[in-house]
A and B are shown apart, each in its own frame.
Chain A
Amino acid sequence: MDSFLKGADGVAIISCHEGECDYGGANMNTNKHVLFLKRIFNHLGINEDRIQQYFCAAAEVENFVNSVEDITKKVRSMPLLPKNKIKPK
């Protein structure tokens, strides 16, 4: 949510494939949270595609590039989210 507050229009979370996490099950745990957040976004009327989790291994360059392109394309087609107006000092 912090990224959205700081002005992001979409967030991609890129993690290892299932079962390949260095830290036990952190990737799937995140997945649970992402799925829940999508549900909340739906509830609030925000497009659920703004947050997306992708699974790619460190060596899968193509996969990584595709993921980033995928979310960029999706978010480009959506209206901009409101930004915090920074007051000039």
Chain B
Amino acid sequence: MNSEKSLSWEFLKNVAETLDSFRIRALIDGKDDILKAGIYSEDQYYALYFEMFDLEKLKYELLTFLKNKSKSNFKDLKTFTSIKRIDLKTILFLLTLLKNEKLVSIEELNEQIDPDDEKLSTTKLTDYFITVNDNVTGKTIYEPVQVIFDAKICSGCGMCAGICPVNCIEIINGFGKVNDDVCIRCGLCYYVCPRTSLPTTSMQMIQMHTNEIEDYGQLGTYLEIFSAQTKIKDIKNVCQDGGITSSCLYYLFNSKQIDLALGATMSEDPWRPKPFLLGSTEDVISSAGTKYVNNPNLSLLNDKSLLDGNFAIVGVPCQMQALLKSKLCRLQLEYKYRIGIFCMESFSYDGFLKICNLVDANVGDVIKTDINKGKFFIYTNTGNEFSVPIKEITHLARPDCEVCYDLTSEFADISIGSIGSPSGWNTVIIRTPEGKKLYNELITNDIIESVNYDNVKPGLSLLQKIARSKKVKCQKHLDEKRKENLRFPSY
């Protein structure tokens, strides 16, 4: 805490700027509405408010610092971090905010990194050139996420609905809607949305607990990769491939490490998933298996029973992105584990029905769906097996998934998928120490069987190839959108 004597005029100026910010003012003016909505208690509201206030103030402090120099580079940013004793990742995040508000222009210098295989080359950020735009008048308004919905780039993760302090966002059928009469325009939803902008560099730094910028390759940061299969019979009967996701939850519930898990289950309509709070191992078994229809899991985050933070979250890459971004935004969400799932693209419910029509399967009879070797398989309870090449159904996938670059849930604790592993096995990417701890416990408790990924065919090379193809595809769509002057997410 500052004592009054050490204050400077610049400090007061920054406080004034912060209080002038629409985001901060909307939160003050909307206080009554927020408390009435009952999602935040008064204490939580003030905690949230001051976190937002501090972050916004820091942003203006950074801007003042940059203004004092005509041109700044990476070294200057480091000086700022050492003055303020703040992580570099926070500063880089604030810098992207300033850039999005068009207060500064940034030129990035990238270094090309070519590994042995030329096709897998990546770029690494090496330096910035930052100039402050002086002729900006007025302040940026953070719009409600309706703009993202309208631009058809919403990933349907449900984060906005889960974070909204007045509960005015609804996600129906994978597409959101903001209730304008209730909305207080605090811009929190825009702030956490993974499709407005995603400070990937800072997020990778959180994952690695480092303060250095590194090369992340095609799969993001990771510690180890394994191929694994469950040993639990109940799960083996119902699981998609190796049953590792279910086994993780099964073990966490049994060892009482979590009370709840956020996941998806089938709703009353056949094959329409809905967000679901799993509370026991029975729930785990009943909700096992991949659902290829998009599901806004995170919209349940405002549930009161999740307040103690004793839960795990299962989700696709966009949901993991949203979760980690919320951590950078300093929204105090407590959770134990993030279990990510590989995702190439998801389908809307209508799209899924169309696929079933295409192969003449009755959607009520379908017991399992799968994507394997370039084909989409549908199995029914009458013992029939239908298949259709993926190429013929990609147009039925959500158009929003075109702008996603992440195949392997780069921002999860532990990512699970099937690519690269033989049938009946899962590929498991361990990304953080928490994920490693969980995986080791699974092995020592004899719940899963694990083999080294290097010994698996086709293994790592296939996974990297597919991950890269998603990135290339995404970049193509982003460039198209840029050319047509449409809104696109900035990664």
Q: Do A and B bind each other?
A: yes
Q: Once the chains bind, are A78 and B28 in contact (CB under 8 Å)? A: no
**Is chain B's binding surface mostly helix, strand, loop or mixed?**
helix
CA distance A13 to B4 in the complex (A): 22
Q: A1-B15, A33-B28, A39-B46 are in contact. Are A45 and B2 (CB under 8 A)?
A: yes
Interface residues of B in 1-42 (CB under 8 A from A): 1-5, 7-9, 11-13, 15-16, 19-20, 28, 31
Cα–Cα, bound, A84→B66 (Å): 19
Q: Is the CB of B16 within 8 A of A79?
A: no
- By size class, the interface of chain A is 20 to 34
Q: Which residues of B sit under 8 angstroms from A4, Cβ to Cβ?
A: 12, 16
In the complex, are the beta carbons of B8 and A82 less than 8 A apart?
yes
Q: Is the CB of A1 within 8 A of B16?
A: yes
Contact residues on B (Cβ < 8 Å of other chain), bracket = 20 to 34
A81 contacts B by Cβ under 8 Å: yes
B9 neighbours in A (Cβ, 8 Å): 5, 82-85
Contact B4 A78 (CB under 8 A): yes
Contacts of A46 in B (CB 8 A): 4, 7
A82 in contact with B19 (CB, 8 Å): no
- Nearest chain B CB to A17's CB is how many angstroms away? 22
Contacts of B12 in A (CB 8 A): 1, 4-5, 81-82
Q: Is B50 interfacial (CB 8 A cutoff)?
A: yes
Q: Min CB distance, A57 to chain B, in Å?
A: 27
Query: CA of A1 to CA of B16 in the docked complex: distance in angstroms?
Result: 6
Contact B2 A43 (CB under 8 A): no
A47 touching B4 in the complex, CB below 8 Å, given contacts A5-B9, A36-B28, A84-B9? yes
CB contact under 8 A between A40 and B3, given known A5-B12, A33-B28: no
> What residues of chain A have their CB less than 8 Å away from a CB belonging to chain B?
1-2, 4-5, 32-33, 36-37, 39-40, 43-47, 78-79, 81-85
Instruction: Give me the 9 closest cross-chain CB pairs, A-B, nearest first.
Output: A1-B16, A45-B2, A82-B9, A45-B1, A84-B9, A82-B8, A36-B28, A79-B5, A4-B12
- Write the residues of chain B forming the contact surface with A, with a CB cutoff of 8 angstroms: 1-5, 7-9, 11-13, 15-16, 19-20, 28, 31, 46, 50, 53
